[in-house]
């Protein structure tokens, strides 16, 4: 096959020029959340030298952040945020968390934990059962792309403010309600769109961010429209640069999940008091100390060695052509949150549904060993799945073009439930070279042994097995955070050892939205020592080459390889 490289080069130059002229507001290398962490600049080299040292390095960033988290949770600004959450719910309003991608999955975790905590509260206090249960629906969320996005990223939606706005409108919010936008960079388009939708309905908005929005005011109109509104407040969480540059699934989402969960936990004590049950709430600052204690336990030599062993074992599975299947029950959503992000972050095959015949199986998949797929999805969310069932006309109405609509995959509830996360057997993932991993708080139940009997290897990753003991809370805050951190470090370490990370850059990322186009260019510019504008054109050229040759892969990675060969 002959490829007209001159034509591709010209097209790449035009696309780069278009981005520089019309999408320059997405150049975000100056934002804290997009900068490289100096502590992990040699992450990939460290993992090559010693897996255990790599694990310890990644956990050290979480531990360093825990000190700032403790200060934040003691502060007056956080107290004001927690009070706003409590006043909204106790005043009969709804708190709707809004996120996209990894932050959207935080929102899922928060709603699920809330629903389970309310149920637990009602069982513990039978005399006020009905009074407690009425708060079950007080917490909800908006995930850009709906519940389907928990299993497969719908990242092209991130660039649509109107889509986010419409999702907020569908919640039918009013002046009693509060929307909490969660975005590491403070500027995610779809999340700000949902904030606009909430504000236009008379609701209040509060933004949890990891980058100060003030310097962005004059650069981005969407920032100004939200943050300067009289009914919008915000709190900057000082998480610092992420261990893996730009990967919000790590430190920022941890900090955001911690703060949101603590605010909801505090509200639960308020509900009990309203119901006539006196139970003193812990000081908000105490949760910061508990989080710090948890990160220190994860840094113990015992826990580090356990995760290092699991990292090398998973690496060996993939390098020998095998597949991993992670089984979980109470931690299923935490496992999904980590494994779904692997596809866009490291360009591994995404999860396959039963309808995706002929596509490569994902390296890792997730299953509940004790429930059918339909019941597993309901148990995961704590309610029936809530997916986007939009018509073509509705997408066109919020600004999508005919061409864009034609590329939108089915993200309905039916499509979600075609991903077999239940106990049903999956022959393609079983047999020789297959590996079953139980992820939970304690040792695997009998259902895991039954569901994984056809796998050639079995292992466990549990807090109990890591020697980690966390402070109990109604929202199970620290159980879920400890599992999250362990999975983040495990999956990042595997990818580092497999060459998908260079330094602390994810060189195998997709260019599926404008933010990732910019990040890809910055990575190539730094790694190859070339100007940003040149790197941008090279990435568009790599993407066009891949398309012409029918290949998959990351444009950034291919640009780095091409440019290295020229030297």
Residue 1's pLDDT band, with cuts at 50, 70 and 90, is low
Average pLDDT, the chain: 94
168-173 average pLDDT score = 97
Q: What is the pLDDT of residue 3?
A: 82
In the predicted model, is pLDDT for residue 276 greater than 90?
no
CB 441 within 8 A of CB 330: yes
**Which residues have C-beta within 8 Å of that of residue 38, sequence separation ≥ 6?**
241
Residue 319's pLDDT band, with cuts at 50, 70 and 90, is very high
Q: What is the pTM of this model?
A: 0.94
CB 470 within 8 A of CB 358: no
Q: What is the pLDDT of residue 537?
A: 95
Return the CATH number of the domain spanning residue range 295-334+349-497. 3.40.50
Q: Which of 364, 462, 477, 447 is nearest to 112 (CA)?
A: 477
Q: Tokens 């969660």 — which residue? A: 182
| Dihedral angle computed from the Cα positions of residues 263, 268, 274 and 275, in that order, rounded to the nearest 10 degrees | 170
Residue 278's pLDDT band, with cuts at 50, 70 and 90, is confident
Cα-based distances in Å from 310 to 437, 439, 494: 10, 12, 9
Angle at 156 between CA 153 and CA 159, to 5 degrees: 125
Decide if 62-284 and 295-334+349-497 have a common fold. Answer: yes
Q: Which of 166, 169, 165, 189 is nearest to 177 (CA)?
A: 169
Edge-first strand order for the sheet with 178-183 is 139-143, 95-99, 178-183, 204-209, 232-236
Question: pLDDT tens across 43-75, in order?
Answer: 999 999 999 999 999 999 999 999 999 999 999
- Please count the CA atoms within 13 angstroms of the CA of 526 that sit on its side-chain side: 17
CATH architecture of 62-284: 3-Layer(aba) Sandwich (3.40)
DSSP bridge pairs for 233: 206
CB 162 within 8 A of CB 193: yes
CB 62 within 8 A of CB 254: yes
Residue 550's pLDDT band, with cuts at 50, 70 and 90, is confident
The radius of gyration of the chain from alpha carbons, rounded to an integer in Å, stands at 23
Q: Which of 440, 410, 426 is nearest to 365 (CA)?
A: 426
Question: pLDDT tens across 113-156, in order?
Answer: 999 999 998 898 888 899 999 999 999 999 999 999 999 877 67
In the predicted model, is pLDDT for residue 533 greater than 60?
yes
How would DSSP label each residue in 389-445?
---HHHHHHTT--HHHHHHPPP-SHHHHTTS--SSS--GGGSEEEEEEEEEESSSPP
Question: pLDDT tens across 492-532, in order?
Answer: 999 999 999 999 999 998 888 888 999 999 999 999 999 99
Phi-psi region of 112 (alpha: psi -120 to 50; beta: other; left: phi over 0): alpha
Q: What is the pLDDT of residue 155?
A: 63
Least confident of 223-237, 333-347, 446-460: 333-347
Q: What is the pLDDT of residue 32?
A: 85
As given in the structure block, the two tokens for residue 23 are 């999408």
Domain boundaries, the chain: 5-35+505-566, 62-284, 295-334+349-497
Residue 566's pLDDT band, with cuts at 50, 70 and 90, is low
Q: Which of 162, 116, 167 is nearest to 139 (CA)?
A: 116
Q: Which of 547, 559, 535 is nearest to 3 (CA)?
A: 547
Q: What is the pLDDT of residue 437?
A: 98
Q: Tokens 């236009």 — which residue? A: 200
């Amino acid at each position: 096959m002959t490829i007209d490289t001159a034509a591709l080069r010209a097209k790449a130059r035009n696309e780069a020029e278009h981005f520089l002229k019309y999408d320059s507001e997405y150049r975000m290398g100056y934002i804290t959340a997009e900068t490289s962490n100096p502590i992990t600049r040699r992450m990939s080299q460290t993992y090559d030298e010693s897996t255990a040292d790599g694990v310890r390095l990644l956990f050290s960033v979480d531990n360093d952040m825990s000190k700032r988290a403790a200060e934040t949770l003691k502060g007056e600004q956080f107290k004001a945020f927690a009070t706003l959450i409590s006043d909204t719910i106790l005043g009969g309003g709804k708190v709707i968390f809004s996120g996209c991608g990894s932050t959207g999955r935080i929102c899922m975790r928060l709603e699920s934990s809330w629903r389970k905590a309310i149920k637990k509260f009602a069982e513990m206090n039978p005399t006020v059962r009905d009074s407690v249960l009425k708060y079950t629906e007080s917490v909800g969320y908006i995930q850009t792309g709906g519940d389907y996005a928990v299993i497969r990223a719908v990242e092209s939606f991130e660039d649509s403010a109107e889509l986010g706005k419409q999702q907020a409108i569908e919640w039918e919010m009013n002046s009693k309600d509060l929307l909490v936008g969660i975005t590491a960079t403070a500027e995610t388009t779809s999340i700000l769109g949902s904030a606009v939708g909430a504000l236009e309905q008379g609701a209040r908005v509060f933004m949890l961010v990891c980058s100060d929005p003030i310097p962005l005011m004059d650069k981005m109109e969407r920032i100004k429209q939200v943050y300067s509104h009289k009914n919008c407040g915000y709190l900057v969480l000082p998480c610092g640069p992420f261990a893996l540059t730009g990967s919000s699934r790590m430190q920022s989402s941890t900090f955001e999940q911690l703060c949101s969960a603590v605010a909801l936990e505090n509200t639960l004590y308020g509900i009990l008091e309203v119901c006539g049950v006196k139970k003193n709430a812990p000081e908000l600052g105490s949760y910061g100390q508990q989080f710090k204690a948890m990160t220190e336990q994860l840094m113990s030599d015992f826990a580090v060695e356990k995760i290092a062993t699991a990292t090398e074992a998973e690496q060996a599975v993939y390098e020998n052509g095998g597949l991993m299947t992670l089984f979980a029950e109470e931690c299923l959503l935490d496992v999904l949150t980590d494994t779904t992000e692997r596809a866009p972050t490291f360009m591994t095959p995404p999860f396959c549904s039963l309808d995706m015949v002929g596509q490569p199986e994902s390296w890792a998949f997730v299953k509940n060993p004790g429930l059918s797929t339909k019941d597993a999805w309901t148990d995961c969310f704590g309610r029936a799945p809530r997916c986007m069932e939009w018509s073509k006309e509705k997408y066109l109405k919020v600004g999508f073009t005919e061409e864009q609509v034609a590329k939108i995959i089915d993200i309905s509830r039916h499509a979600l439930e075609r991903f077999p996360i239940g106990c049903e057997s999956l022959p393609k993932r079983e047999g020789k070279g297959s590996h079953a991993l139980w992820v939970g708080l304690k040792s695997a139940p009998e259902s895991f042994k039954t569901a994984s009997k056809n796998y050639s290897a079995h292992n466990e990753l549990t807090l109990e097995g890591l020697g980690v003991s966390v402070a109990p809370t109604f929202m199970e805050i620290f159980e879920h955070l400890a599992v999250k951190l362990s999975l983040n470090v495990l999956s990042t370490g595997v990818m580092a050892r497999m060459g998908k990370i260079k330094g602390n850059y994810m060189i195998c990322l997709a260019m599926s939205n404008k933010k990732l186009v910019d990040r890809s260019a910055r990575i190539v510019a730094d790694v190859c020592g070339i100007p940003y504008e040149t790197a941008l054109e090279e990435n568009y050229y790599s993407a066009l080459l891949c398309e012409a040759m029918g290949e998959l892969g990351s444009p950034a990675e291919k640009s780095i390889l091409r440019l290295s060969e020229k030297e």
